[in-house]
Amino acid sequence: MSNLDGKIILITGAAKGMGATEAKMAVERGATVILSDIIEDQLEATADSLDSAFSRLDVTSKDDWEKTISQILDDHGRIDGLVNNAGIFIQKTLFDDAQEAFEAMAKVNQLGTYLGIECIAPIMRDQESGSIVNISSVAGLRGQRNIGYVASKFAVTGMTKAIALQLAKFNVRCNSVHPGAISTDMALGLGPSDVELLTNKTPMGRIGEPEEVAEAVMFLLSDAASYLTGAEITVDGGFIL
């Protein structure tokens, strides 16, 4: 079990689903967690259930990032971990007049992740410690039909490696996690036939649970992963095999 005692961790997209599971697990392992999202009512309810702080944060807004980070530094003086978990999936293909969907996914999944890194990396550099965990996808490692989603998640994979190179000498790590089909609203919203198809394509013969992804995230946030940076951790039941 990864120990997070005393660590200050910010998680985006934490109102529900995988982000909420990551927040719960981090709290249980001793971290002080700040939950963030744009779904304000659910964010507050989730944070209250964990006795944790929360901040409304639109990851595409640099002003929101700066306000949230400023409050965390005022309250705690440091940030030890960032989980760039916020993301969206819009089911479009190249032939579906998909420009609007492409731009929306690029804005949240790619720009949102970049802004988190841009705002928090200097803090971690100056304190000479920290871990950034970017939630990509198996779609950030292999081709799939949804060009917008694939493009945004490949971007997250690439940004992870670029920032890992820049921050390694400052003892700051950056890694990406690549879930396959996970039992969240995003996957289940595809519909029963698509979920069945994903299950059949997964060698382990099932979709994963949010807790199984969260375990990988906890490890990367912890000191147990102190020599791991720029890595791609797949949590996919063998899907990309």
Q: CB of 10 within 8 A of CB of 83?
A: yes
For residues 176 and 230, give the distance between their C-alpha atoms in angstroms, rounded to a whole number: 7
Distance CA 208, CA 135 (A): 15
Specify the 3-state DSSP secondary structure of 137.
coil
**Cα-Cα-Cα-Cα dihedral sign, residues 41, 43, 47, 53:** negative
Structure-token match 């000191």, residue found: 223
Catalytic residue, chosen from 149, 154, 219, 239, is 149
CA distances from 50 to 41, 110, 178, 196, 217 (A): 15, 29, 26, 33, 18
Rounded distance, CA 2 to CA 223, Å?
A: 8
Residue 149 among the catalytic residues? yes
The residues annotated with a catalytic role in the active site are 149
